[in-house]
Amino acid sequence: MNRPFSNCLAALCLLSVACTSAPLTGRSQFLPFPASVENEIGANAWEEALLEADQEGVLVTSGPQAAEVRHVGRAIANAAKRHPETSQLTQGYDWEFVLIESDQVNAWALPGGRSAVYTGLLGVATDEDELAAVMGHEVAHALARHAGERMTQVLIVNAGLTAAMLLSEDMDPEDRELLLASLGLVSETGVLLPFSRTHESEADEIGLLLSADAGYDPRAAVRLWKKMAALSADRPPELLSTHPSETTRLADLAEIMPEAMQVWMRAKSEGR
């Protein structure tokens, strides 16, 4: 076999392996790195985050709030394990849910199923159904491998910008500076930010369905995101934001709500 043909065949094999679909939404994804690599990165970052929180004395390991976070998180993780589209994805995951003392109204997740909630969020998500809306959203980020996808996008964009820098070395310095600045802006507003908003909207959808299957009322998501939006009244326009606007988010939730309500009613009938 000649080298050009074999190289082409290898590239096609890589593309076929790297092209996959997000669970529940079916959105096409390009993920050249195996999930095991992402999960290892997530595990290392998790150890560092927990060590820092423990050293600062902000890791909450006991009490009703910490227990609530663990209970809700595990219920949603179990829903992911049950669902035919996500059960296989969870096999390499080490689910863990912790509470961290902080005024931040936020939560986050890492590849591999590890997630943290800040106590500030519990002042906004005032019941388990609302907390499940957030935690389902974070579990969805992990299941859909958004971190790996984001890593790939940044690498591709950086490679493109590096190539542009090399190819424009002979240009007039002012023109070159303007070109590179324009390419950087286009990359940010035309590639990275739209993908970030796509990830957030997708996490809303997947998270809503999983939390409903765990037995949590999906209508609480509407209450929760309205309250969250009220806390972010000064956020930038959607075009320049990493998150969809309140209008977009609520419209997307309304579209998926009938399906989520059916899932929730079935879960309730089965005792969840």
Query: Which residues are tagged catalytic?
Result: 138
Asked if 148 and 174 touch (Cβ cutoff 8 Å), the reply is no
Whole-angstrom Cα distance, residue 154 to residue 34?
A: 17
| Residue 122, CA distances (Å) to 118, 119, 249 in order | 7, 5, 21
User: What tokens appear for 151 in the block?
Assistant: 């890593």
User: What tokens appear for 170 in the block?
Assistant: 């002979």
HSE-up (13 A, CA, CB side) for residue 229: 16
Whole-angstrom Cα distance, residue 224 to residue 242?
A: 19
Q: State which amino acid sits at residue 48.
A: E
